[in-house]
Amino acid sequence: MGSSTTGAGGESSEDRIVTVSSWRELDDAISEVSGPRGPHPRGGPSHSAVVFRGRSRPPHSHLSGLARLAGEYPAVERHLIRNFRKYAHRQAPGPTIWDWLALGQHHGLPTRLVDWTFSPLVALHFATAVWPHDEAMLIGLDCEAAHRLLPGPLREVLDHEGAVLFTTEMLARRAPDLDSFGKLAGAEPFLALFEPPSLDERIVTQSSVLSALSDVTWPVERWLNAHPDLWWAWRIPPEVKAEVRERLDQAGITERALLPGLDGLAAWLRRYYSPEVCLEHQGDECAPGTTGNA
């Protein structure tokens, strides 16, 4: 997952990546990092703050859709958003720039956002639905720990709400546009994670979470490698990938459930009746979002 670096604690990012030998080993590892953390300070159970992302084949990078454009992509971001808002005005998702970015990401617009999910099973679905003969990877990120690195104004918003993640409205309180979002950063960029509005059933069923880096020129893996103590990753060899896929199908974690509608039904039937086919058009990403890739 990019070049190996060493964090402040002396731990290399490569030390966070474990190759699993079975579904059971993977399931136990996920449970260990994302289990309940004891009672919530305000009463009731404390839910896991780990979000997940899967990749179906190497290279296991986490480039945003915008960065995949290559070239001078930072200069294109403003034009993409302006024109998307202009032509999609009848689909207004909400009043903030973050609502529009979430809508664009959901429909395949190249943005700086990267998809995650609170559900490791959802991430594993997108990691195992295609490319059966290639190694997959699952990554988990402690978003609560990541948010401890936020600049003060954003941290204050979360603390005031007693929240782990932002909503689009909460982000807009201190960052009404992308320029002000970037200006909040100190010496290094920060990563903010927020829950998108419930634009449709896919976002709801996939427990979608989106991340945004304050510096659009930084790839997510560069930020992750700079903070190796905030995440975990598991390599899933092809033979284990097949076992995981079988377990997910048995549990009903399929395209039919995660992509409600005829597109999901067709994708499920296509995979079910042609399991050895690598369906490139389904995507090789992992996490929630458009048709089969997050």
How many of the other CB atoms lie within 10 Å of CB of 19?
13
pLDDT at 160 exceeding the cut of 50: yes
Is 64 within the bounds of a domain? yes
Is 5 within the bounds of a domain? no
Is 7 within the bounds of a domain? no
Is 80 within the bounds of a domain? yes
Burial of 252 (C-beta count, 10 Å sphere; 0-12/13-18/19+) = exposed
| Backbone conformation region of residue 94, classed left if phi is above 0, alpha if psi is from -120 to 50, else beta | left
pLDDT at 231 exceeding the cut of 90: yes
The pLDDT of residue 39: 53
**Per-residue pLDDT band at 269 (split at 50, 70, 90):** confident
Mean pLDDT of 66-71: 91
The pLDDT of residue 280: 43
277-283 own/partner pairs: CB under 8 Å, 24+ apart: 278/130, 278/131, 278/132, 278/133, 279/130, 280/130, 282/129, 282/130, 283/126, 283/130
Is 204 within the bounds of a domain? yes
Is 6 within the bounds of a domain? no
pLDDT at 112 exceeding the cut of 80: yes
Taking the model in full, what pTM does it have?
Answer: 0.86
Lowest-pLDDT choice from 134-148, 236-250, 257-271: 257-271
pLDDT at 202 exceeding the cut of 60: yes
Mean pLDDT of 265-270: 86
Domain count of the chain? 1
Domain that holds residue 209: 17-35+47-273
Is 288 within the bounds of a domain? no
Is 53 within the bounds of a domain? yes
